Structure 1
Amino acid sequence: MLVQAKPLEELLHRIFIGVGSNDHEARIVAHHLVDSCLVGHDSHGVIRTLPYVKAVKKGEMHANVRPQTLFENDTMFVLDGGHGFGQVAALEATNRAIAKAEKSGLAMYTLRHSGHCGRLGAWAELAAGAGQATIYFANSVRPGGAQIAPFGGSDRRLNVGPISLGMPVKGADPIVLDISTASVAMGKVRLARNQGTKLREACIIDANGDLTDDPFALDGPPPGALLPFGGHKGYGLCVFTDLFAGILTGAGADYRGEATGWYPINNVMAIHINVSMLGDLDAFSREVLDYASWVKDSPPQNADQPVRLPGDVESENRRLRSERGIEIDKTTLDQVLEAARMTETPPSFIEAVRATA
């Protein structure tokens, strides 16, 4: 069903207030989840609502926790998220890094022990709005929590390792790459289960060692494993998400042991570059736009599929879904409504969403 963003965001805001968040925190998390749906990253959108609520109720994530600063100088800082909502920690970290890079030209931070930070590309977009290029590596470590098989291997050893890269373009949408180093993000596996569809390709090694596109084969029982994207190349990038976002941050990359069922904790390493300190931002942006135009002018292999740059699809989705609404499958909507019941959210907020369908 199609629903409008504003009443959906208000419903999520009330749900997170119901689980214990203050108004400010609930606004940040609700906005981020709905915005992820608007840009087409449904895997990081409202489908996360029920898992977040359950994680807070089980004590795996905590409401109203601000990250603690463990180290800071003019260009670097280290944060501990204290298992609070990751969107809150990531927003604070991004804003602080923007301020440092604005002054010093460069900023680098690590964030560890944070709740799920959501769509990494959102933070790259925020920094791009301040004229900064960015590099993000993240991992999600917990005992028994590996999801990806190493290149040439057959069982789970690695995390799904998201990476995001952002480039500002003055007066235009930024160029933002936001990917998982798995062949398909875990959120998209969950989404396929909810929608009753197969994955776009056979990218899971099932318990028998066979490739399959069945999203249920990943968890089994017995469990299977995701493949990294791009063979040994994606595998290499995945390894560095654990090295940079896991071991370098102090959070580690130890996936040994039995699965705990705990909601994943995120760790992030980020670098911000103030483009204006490398040259004139206007001239820089003109060159980027000229380059982008040249790349996208390549004759498409399929006439109905023009060449795009990273971030183009998200920008197109935002414009389209802001006008038409967000498509939510029945299973995902039922899960959001379950979260509303668990948090005693007033029925009027649910009815406001249904009224826009």
Structure 2
Amino acid sequence: MTVAATSTATAAAQDAPRFNETELTELGTRAFQGLGLPREDAADVARVLLLADMFGLSTHGFSRIESYGDRLQLGGINARARIQVDAPAPALRLVDGDNGVGPLVGMHALRAAMDAARTQGVGVAFARGSNHFGPISPYGWLAAQEGYASIIGSNATTTIAPWGGSDARLGNSPLGFGVPNPDGDPFLLDMAMSVVARAKIRNALKAGQSIPDTWATDAAGRPTTDPKAALDGFLLPIGGHKGYGLALLVDLFSGLLSNAAYLTHVQSWSDAPEQAQNLGHFFILIDTARLGSAQWLAERMKDFAAILHGSAPAVADRPVIVPGEIEMDKMRRQREQGIALDGAVVTMLRQHAAEAPA
């Protein structure tokens, strides 16, 4: 990026509309009500997207109202989903999302897993009939606030070729882990199985920027710096064949075991926005209160982080951090300074909110 472009981007960020949590939650809730969701369901969706923006994950925050909204208006997502939860075993929950908005299904599955873990010590929820449910870190953070350690995953539209293959047959399935800290910030790891999310490549295309040649290949499998060629090609998995294996395991848990679609059975939300995706998610929660006292966990989490922070940085101005630190710092800063949103996103939110029932 040129100096002029950098200055323009900085100025745009400074000029972006800012909201406090209450204002943005209400605007987001009203916007999804305007798209046909009942208020309680709209509030669930807004909560996940709000946290994504507060963590600095703008590609997975309220900007998603564009793709979610298009599919809701086309009937590809059910605005009035009747989500069902079954309990075939004390610690197990099966969630049928009825093709609802992904964050709504995700919140139902999170609460179902919490319900099981509260009485059994461990709770597992498998969700099917869902759609893109946002980033994993908001769910991990919400679980951590209640004292639950978490392992959470979802499958996704096919964008990655099998290792050694020549066409897309598996999705960039995200996987996340969370560990609560009674005296500080939780440990939160949220990662997709590709080097970067596809949304980052779309953003580069919109901005007229090139991308690193380690992000994706073109349709012929050749590394590319052209975001358009990358979007027509395949994402590269993290760690080569190891990332490929992890992506398959996430799809086995979230897609196959949940009785959702998997691999090439998943519909593309961009190519067929009017069709149900039938994505699957899994939530594995552990009640850390069953393992020891809050003081015990806080002391061990403090020591765990201190061991890592104590490593002298290889680059003087880049100290060692642990997963979740960047997101928690951004959350604190935005709580103090206001949550910044792109002006175009704010316009879409307000347009849909104007359609909400009085």
- TM-score with structure 2 setting the length: 0.86
- Describe the superposition over 1:316-354 as per-residue Cα deviations: whole angstroms up to 9, x where unpaired: 11112233344545xxx435535654x4727xxxxxxxx
Instruction: After superposing the two structures, state which structure 1 stretch, 146-155 or 189-198, moved more.
Output: 189-198
Amino acid at match of 2:330: N
**Structure 1 residue 252: Cα displacement:** 3.2
CA distance in 1, matches of 2:128, 2:299: 37
2:171 corresponding residue in structure 1: 159
Shift of residue 209 of structure 1?
2.9
User: Using the alignment, how far apart are the partners of 2:27 and 2:229 within structure 1?
Assistant: 33
Q: Report the equivalent of 1:27.
A: 43
Residue in 2 that maps onto 1:303 = 316
1:261 to 264, 272, 278: 272
Gaps of 5+ in 2: 1-14
Residues 116 and 265, structure 1, Cα contact 8 Å, conserved in 2: no
Whether the 8 Å CA contact 1:242–1:252 is kept in 2: the answer is no
Cα deviations across residues 198-219 of structure 1 (Å, max 9, x unaligned)? Answer: 3355321102432123322233
- 1:177 is matched with 189
Rate the CA distance shift 1:35–1:195 in 2: closer, same or farther, 3 A: farther
Alignment-derived partner of residue 160 in structure 2: 148
CA offset digits 1:92-114 (Å, max 9, x no partner): 22122222212111111100111
Q: 2:123 is paired with a residue of what secondary structure? A: strand
Q: Secondary structure at the match of 1:83?
A: coil
Question: What is the alpha-carbon distance in structure 1 between the residues aligned to residue 187 and residue 329 of structure 2?
Answer: 13
User: Deviations for 1:56-115, whole angstroms, at most 9, x for unmatched residues?
Assistant: 111111123242124433110111101112222222221222222121111111001113
Q: Distance in 2 between matches of 1:257 and 1:284?
A: 40
Distance 1:124 1:196 in 2: 34
**Uncovered stretches (5+) of structure 1, i.e. residues with no partner:** 347-357
The residue aligned with 1:212 is: 224
1:352 counterpart residue number: none
Quick one: which of 2, 18, 28 aligns to 1:4?
18
Between the aligned partners of 2:287 and 2:267, the Cα distance in structure 1 is: 44
Instruction: Report % sequence identity.
Output: 32
Q: Which moved more, 1:278-287 or 1:77-86?
A: 278-287
C-alpha contact 2:213 2:223 (8 A) present in aligned 1: no
| Residue-pair matches, total | 335
- What is the match of residue 224 of structure 1? 233
**Alignment check: 8 A CA contact 2:260 2:278 kept:** no
Cα distance in 1 between the residues matched to 2:180 and 2:207: 35
1:92 aligns with 2:102: no
- Offset of 1:138 from its aligned partner? 0.9
Amino acid paired to 1:104: Q
Residue in structure 2 matched with residue 242 of structure 1 by the alignment: 251
What is the CA–CA distance in structure 2 between the aligned matches of 1:294 and 1:59, rounded to whole Å?
51
Q: Tell me if structure 1 keeps the 8 A contact 2:93–2:112.
A: no
After superposing the two structures, state which structure 1 stretch, 152-161 or 44-53, moved more.
Answer: 152-161
Of the structure 1 ranges 93-102 and 294-303, higher mean CA displacement relative to structure 2 is found in: 93-102
TM-score, normalisation: structure 1: 0.86
- Rounded Cα–Cα distance in structure 1 between residues aligned with 2:46 and 2:292: 37
CA contact (8 A) 2:195 2:237 kept: yes
Match of 1:337 among 337, 341, 347: 347
Relative distance call for 1:206 and 1:186 in structure 2 (3 A) is same
Match of 1:147, SS state, is strand
**What residue identity is the alignment partner of 1:207?**
A
Instruction: Provide the rounded CA distance (Å) in 1 between the counterparts of 2:171 and 2:237.
Output: 10
SS of residue matched to 1:269: strand
Q: Distance in 2 between matches of 1:27 and 1:290?
A: 37
CA distance in 2, matches of 1:108, 1:300: 39
Find 2:124's aligned residue among 105, 108, 116.
108
Q: 1:200 to 1:125 in 2, by over 3 A?
A: farther
C-alpha deviation, 1:178, in angstroms: 0.5
